[in-house]
Structure 1
Amino acid sequence: MEWIAAVGTIVIVGIVLALLEWTGKKLQMQPETIRKWIHIAVGHWVFLALAWMEHWYVAITPLLFFTLINWITLKRGTGRMNQVERVSYGTVYYPMALALLVLFFFEQEPMALVAGSMVLAWGDGLAALVGKRFGKTFYTRGKIRRSFEGSITMFLASFLVLTVTFLLYEEPAWLAVSYGFLLANIAALIEAVSYRDTDNLLIPLTIGALVAFAL
């Protein structure tokens, strides 16, 4: 049954991707906007995995599948989410990061898996959307330009999802808020200094590791 569930999650994610691509096309969204809404939506795959699967080696299979598919579509330029201004490996790093989270934390530390995934989905996703739409004050690191508005959104969204995650796993309120605040700052810092799309790897793995070892 687990393997059937794994295939089921692939089908569900595929349907979500198709719907978001179709909606984006109908609404004439920019490819980068479509990509970030996909970025947010796909992170919630972890809840399907935790509900339907028991073993990490089963749960990791859909993520390896999407890593390969995303690499192929990136190379071919297939889909509006790959029609961005520059070649971006973020769509490949994303399932790869989730696969590593599953490998390290799926069976023993599910809270770390959820925390890392939600910060990647909502924090990094909303930071890009808000920064692109409302960003007016920018800073640069080499050739990478980011906005303060996006970084503030990264912190706020990460703080919210981390606090909610800790509360759902029945951590004390004071710990949920204080540790959520600390980790949100770390996530925002990583997003600010990371090179290109490496934040899709560094943010979830760092947050997941800190949650696993400190809580």
Structure 2
Amino acid sequence: MFDSIPFLESIPALWLHISIVALGLGVIVLSAETLHRRTSTNSELARKVVHIGTGNVILVAWWLQIPAWVGIAASIIASAIALSSYYVPFLPGINSVGRRSFGTFFYAVSMGILIAWFWSPHQFHYAAIGILVMTWGDGLAGLMGQRFGQHKYQIWGMTKSWEGSLTMTLISYGVSCSILLGVQGNVWQTWLLPIAVALGATGLEMFSKWGMDNLTVPVASAALAFYLHQLFPLV
């Protein structure tokens, strides 16, 4: 999907890349919180702005070839901030979703796990699949479900919509295909493997509580793509 840029090993270049990522994340979070506080925008929309915006940082990290330790450190810091914000509500627009959820915390943890797993062997695309399936699939599914969800169903006391679940499946499939199209070379890997990823991600999103899908969906999607490729590398 991307032509990798060799990472410049100098200290100035390292801090430049860190600053780019940190600045981007800061702008997204502050914009969403400002949107929530100064307009009639509801908390769910503000949270989705952050959800979708921050997830794309994985593409920047891949593109810049940021070292794994930087991504893992950022994940730890973001996890600590997210966990603290549940008890000291300095970001109410992001964490207030009308239900008990630790989604923001799990989201940050999942990014650290996937970077730790796939960065060293230079299999960045699996980490990107996991994060972006959650970023775009779950993010748009929530918005579509709220706006157009006419056919509701309940699982474990949670109300969801078939429109939202269908959106999750289609977006997850599209995201996975888009990433694999640039790094894999056969029909199975590019067009068929993402079907399993999309269905698995949708199933986990349907049955997860307390925001756990922000951890289970990215990790399971990346793991499924990786292990299916190992099982059927030449199909």
Fold in common (TM above 0.5) = yes
Q: Distance in 2 between matches of 1:125 and 1:98?
A: 16
Aligned to 2:159, the other structure's residue is in SS state strand
Aligned to 1:196, the other structure's residue is in SS state coil
TM superposition shift of 1:152: 0.4
Q: Distance in 1 between matches of 2:22 and 2:82?
A: 13
- Unaligned segments of structure 2, at least 5 residues: 1-12, 230-235
Identity %: 27
Query: Which stretch of the first structure deviates more once superposed, 9-18 or 158-167?
Result: 9-18
C-alpha distance after superposition, 1:103-139 (max 9, x if no partner): 1112222111010011010011111111111112122
- Alignment-derived partner of residue 195 in structure 1: 209
Paired residue type of 1:185: L
C-alpha distance after superposition, 1:137-195 (max 9, x if no partner): 12212221211111001001101101101102243355311111221111111111222
C-alpha distance after superposition, 1:67-110 (max 9, x if no partner): 11111122222221123312321011001011100111122221
Query: Which stretch of the first structure deviates more once superposed, 38-47 or 77-86?
Result: 77-86
State whether structure 2 residue 65 is matched by structure 1 residue 50: no
Q: Residue 103 of structure 1: which of 116, 137, 160 is its match?
A: 116
C-alpha distance after superposition, 1:22-59 (max 9, x if no partner): 23445421001110121111111111212234431222
- Structure 1 residue runs of 4+, over 6 Å off? none
Assess if the C-alpha contact under 8 Å between 2:126 and 2:225 holds in 1: yes
- Alignment-derived partner of residue 178 in structure 1: 192
- Alignment-derived partner of residue 204 in structure 1: 218
Paired residue type of 1:98: M
Based on CA coordinates, which of the two structures has the bigger radius of gyration?
2
Assess if the C-alpha contact under 8 Å between 2:194 and 2:225 holds in 1: no
Q: Which structure: greater helix fraction?
A: 1
Aligned to 1:67, the other structure's residue is in SS state helix
- Unaligned segments of structure 1, at least 5 residues: none
Q: Distance in 2 between matches of 1:205 and 1:181?
A: 16
Pairing of 1:3-82 with structure 2 (within 5 A): 3-79=15-91, 80-82=93-95
Q: Distance in 2 between matches of 1:83 and 1:46?
A: 25
- Alignment-derived partner of residue 228 in structure 2: 214
Paired residue type of 1:175: Q
Paired residues, number? 215
